[in-house]
Amino acid sequence: MNPDTLFRGARILGDGVDVVGDLLVRDGSIADFGPSLGRPDSADVVEAEGAVLCPGLVDMRAALGEPGYEYRETIASAAEAAAAGGITTLAALPDTQPAIDDPALVHLLRTRGVETGSLSILPYGAVTRGCRGEEMAELGLLREAGAVAFTDGSRAVGPARLMRLALSYARGFDARIVQHPEDPSLAAGGSATESEQATRLGLPSIPAAAEAIIVARDIRLAELTGGAVHFAHVSTGEALALIRRAKDAGLSVTCDTAPPYFDLNETTIGTFRTYAKLSPPLRKEADRQAVVAALADGTIDAIASDHQPRDADDKRLPFAQAAAGGCGLATLLGVTLAQVHNGSLPMAQAITLLTSRPAALLGSAAGRIAKDAPADLCLFEPDRIWKVEAGKLPGKAQNSPFDGRALEGVVIGTWKSGKRVFG
């Protein structure tokens, strides 16, 4: 049995909790927290010295590369990067090879997460067989096996009839359909947001309306079926306005975004910088500002890493041919804290967007500071500066759109069920 651990002198921050004091971990759970707890006999002491102690981050959208794309990332390398980023729970996308459309693969991913000792993996099940958008997968069996929700990952569920059926069926066992909101016919072949910049660079473009069109359609389908739809990595003001209205109308509509869409804009691609080629593509500055506003007003329910590992050869191509996607596990906290440091988000709200709110969407008990809650914890220094350097990031994937960016907020320790797994 592990000895008790006492965190002393931390700013303890969680959903509804913001106190300076101590936190005691016993037998893998939070035993107590508050001002001046005193030191139990034989407890290990972690002197926080004013650092922030929060729940381990809950990342509700990440690709792991395994199975099928181990050359890009493995579960082991993703777990290493996640621990360094303060992430202790991660929802894994199903568009692997083979796709997670079989209950045995759901069981496998959960087991592989346990085997890491540092990361709980919550698998998404595929909406359609092979994530091909043609035939609905066995959602009931996948849910029974432990799938937390259903998505085709980086591919939109294109046919409206198929999306309607999926929403209706998933409603029967209280599950969400997570949509990549991009009209496939409008996005086909595109690599950048339709704009003067894309025209100047001669890049095939995707209209920003491709996002809003799918969002509008699927909101209407959610209303028609009574199903629950969640829109991933929302990146445009038009789509966010539609989601805001749907929420006001009481529909089962939620959404997340990712750090590139509130920290970067289309100018980041510069002269064909492929690390900044993402899906959806980086948007105009007005859209970035709309995402920031939607984080502040609560329209956006969670911030996800949107981790999409890519090999160097995937990116060492002309911009239009290079693979879209950026790694994001190690930078999730730091880029989010930039919105705290510039005054756009209170610290407490930023932490809930990274912990309790995504956990609630996933039906997970993680992401909380509470007595008897799992001692999945992240200790970080919010004002300490570091620089993102591709090639020096933890884990296998190095394709960061934030390469060269200075960030404030350094994870100095991560604990999983009371065991230190980083720092």
pLDDT of the chain, 423 residues: tens digit per residue: 678 999 999 999 999 999 999 999 999 999 999 998 877 878 899 999 999 999 999 999 999 999 999 999 999 999 999 999 999 999 999 999 999 999 999 999 999 999 999 999 999 999 999 999 999 999 999 999 999 999 999 999 999 999 999 999 999 999 999 999 999 999 999 999 999 999 999 999 999 999 999 999 999 999 999 999 999 999 999 999 999 999 999 999 999 999 999 999 999 999 899 999 999 999 999 999 999 999 999 999 999 999 999 999 999 999 999 999 999 999 999 999 999 999 999 999 999 999 999 999 999 999 999 999 999 999 999 999 999 999 999 999 999 999 999 999 999 999 999 999 999
- Which of helix, strand or coil describes residue 272? coil
Q: Hey, which residues does 87 pair with through a beta bridge?
A: 57
Q: Is residue 104 assigned to a domain?
A: yes
Q: Is residue 160 assigned to a domain?
A: yes
Whether 141 contacts 105, CB under 8 Å: no
| pLDDT on residue 39 | 79
| pLDDT on residue 292 | 98
The beta-strand segments (E) located in 93-209 are 120-123, 125-126, 150-151, 176-179, 192-193, 205-206
Q: Is residue 304 assigned to a domain?
A: yes
Rounded Cα distance between 197 and 272, Å, is 11
| pLDDT on residue 144 | 97
CATH number of the domain residue 287 falls in: 3.20.20.140
| pLDDT on residue 2 | 76
Peptide bond into 260 cis (omega under 30): no
What the block records as the tokens of 244 is 């805001």
| pLDDT on residue 1 | 63
| Straight-line distance from the first to the last Cα atom of the chain, in angstroms, rounded to the nearest whole number | 21
Output the CA angle 195-197-199, nearest 5 degrees. Answer: 75
Rounded Cα distance between 357 and 97, Å, is 30
Single out the residue of 333, 351, 342, 326 nearest to residue 402, CA to CA. 326
Q: Is residue 368 assigned to a domain?
A: no
Sheet containing 150-151: order of strands = 125-126, 150-151, 176-179, 228-231, 253-257, 302-303
**Phi, psi dihedral angles at 321 (to 5 degrees):** -95, -20
Which helix H or strand E contains 415, and what residues bound it? strand 406-416
Q: Is residue 404 assigned to a domain?
A: no
DSSP 269: G
Q: Which of 22, 101, 306, 314 is catalytic?
A: 306
Output the CA angle 36-38-42, nearest 5 degrees. Answer: 145
Q: Is residue 397 assigned to a domain?
A: no
Residues spanned by the domain of 175: 56-362
Q: Is residue 1 assigned to a domain?
A: no
Single out the residue of 97, 107, 192, 118 nearest to residue 144, CA to CA. 107
What the block records as the tokens of 265 is 């804009």
Inter-CA distances, 3 with 26, 27, 35, Å = 7, 8, 21
The total number of structural domains that make up the chain: 1
- pTM for this structure? 0.97
Q: Catalytic site residue 306?
A: yes
Q: Is residue 420 assigned to a domain?
A: no
